[in-house]
Amino acid sequence: MNKIEKQVLEKITPTENYHKKICKIVEEIKIILEIEIEKKKLPATVELVGSIAKDTYLQNNMDIDFFLCFPINYSKEEIAKNALTIGKSFLTDTEESYAEHPYLRGYYKKCYVEIVPCYKIEKASQKLSAVDRTPLHTKYVKENIKEKQKGEVRLLKQFLKGINCYGAEAQIQGFSGYLCEIIILKYGSFEKTLKSAIKWKYGEKLALKKGSYPDFDTPLVFIDPVDSDRNVSSALIKEKFDFFIKASKAYLKKPKITFFYPNKVKAIDLEKIRKIIEDQDCKYIGIRFQKPKIIDENLYPQIKKSVKTVWEHLKRAEFKIFDVNYYANDKNIYIIIKTSKEKLPDTMIHIGPPVKKESNSKEFLEKWKGHKDLIKGPFKENNRWKVEIKRKHKNISNFLKAEFNKLSLGKHIVKKVDINFSILKKDELICENLQEFWSEYLDKKLPWER
């Protein structure tokens, strides 16, 4: 290890006192769970899973994951109901979440705790739901990881945190903790991982054992050692895959502490933001609506779906779009669109069916015969029917006002948009609520360069 890695490892490795504190809390929770199971006369066992169970957690990580493992003759409804009831009996500030069935999150002595029901299985082929594999993951890592490799896992996790690529959740779509652990099992160390990663190509396929495995269309494929039909890196998106490779190259060339602990983006003054934006040969339009009160795992996929939908519909309407981003604070969600200053022409070409499709062609010709918006046609071009028609929306703001609440958005977002949404122009977008967004968006430095 180099000097920086030793320094980081010293900082992220749990101290003896911290480890004892965690172990004490874990034991207390386990006893509570076992007492509640006994009271209810349930044939369930309690399993500590996750990074604390595998001793790959970082200093000041207070996330504790317990699984309640039930026999397979219990229904999913029964195991979920019992897990929720037991969790609510001792956790505070609880909220129900949902994987393939409900589970509970809450706090115990300031520690963040998850209580998850699952089926007790001996091998992955017996699974009835995806979470049933998790205790097998914990067991596999505990049985195969060497003591020294736990530090290597911690370094990889902190490196990924520093470049914002750590976590498989929808907000990040990066590397999960389990993926980090099996990557270290594969390569042996943090340094060897980075040296291998710089050679990765899209579709890179990894496994801990030689064999014939299914193909997956993802940037990285890592075959789950406890379930050969599963790709552990399925949540990893291309953007994060590429960024990890870029960061690995940069770190190997010149290691810096800021790869692990980047400096925060400096806030840019609102007047400076205004000047930067005014100097750009483009314009910005925003959409603001109330943030639904749902957990992040449900919220962020809906935000990303909404962003993608907005982009696709604006492109289809022939607006020139450079970028679509989002920002969420405690109250509102903003979708911010970077577009061209150019106005669209008064008319547009509407493409119809192939000429050879007679029934579709007949329907198309009948529809546009004498239509009030028809300017020219119907005519044939490249073996398709086409018409030139009046453009419904030449202005992107008008398009969004008329169409946004009709688009296919996330189901909880739709409910908020149906109540109210606002279209914001440049002056309304340059405000204190969005200062953090603009500061990050306009900052061109990589995290480790700040």
CB of 287 closer than 8 Å to CB of 309: no
Give the containing element (helix H, strand E) for 379: strand 374-381
Specify burial of residue 271 (Cβ count, 10 A radius: 0-12, 13-18, 19+): exposed
Average pLDDT over residues 381-402: 92
Flag whether pLDDT at 442 surpasses 90: yes
**Of 240 and 124, which is predicted with more confidence?**
240
Phi, psi of 237 (to 5 degrees): -90, 160
Flag whether pLDDT at 311 surpasses 90: yes
Amino acid 99: pLDDT: 67
pTM of model > 0.85: yes
Rounded to a whole number of angstroms, the CA Rg of the chain reads 27
Amino acid 145: pLDDT: 97
pLDDT tens digits for range 409-440: 988 999 999 999 999 999 999 999 999 999 99
pLDDT tens digits for range 342-365: 888 899 899 999 999 999 999 999
Strand ranges across the sheet with 347-354: 347-354, 384-390, 374-381
First and final C-alpha spacing in the chain: 24
CB of 145 closer than 8 Å to CB of 153: yes
Handedness of CA 374, 380, 381, 382 (dihedral sign): positive
Question: How far is residue 286's CA from residue 400's CA, in Å, rounded to a whole number?
Answer: 10
Tokens 């030449």 belong to 394
Strand ranges across the sheet with 332-339: 321-328, 332-339, 283-290, 422-424
Confidence of residue 337 (pLDDT cuts 50, 70, 90): very high
Tokens 């299985």 belong to 121
Please give the domain boundaries of the chain with CATH numbers for all domains: 13-143 (3.30.460.10), 145-259 (1.10.1410.30), 270-343+394-449 (3.30.70.590), 347-390 (3.30.70)
Flag whether pLDDT at 98 surpasses 80: no
Confidence of residue 221 (pLDDT cuts 50, 70, 90): very high
Question: How far is residue 288's CA from residue 102's CA, in Å, rounded to a whole number?
Answer: 31
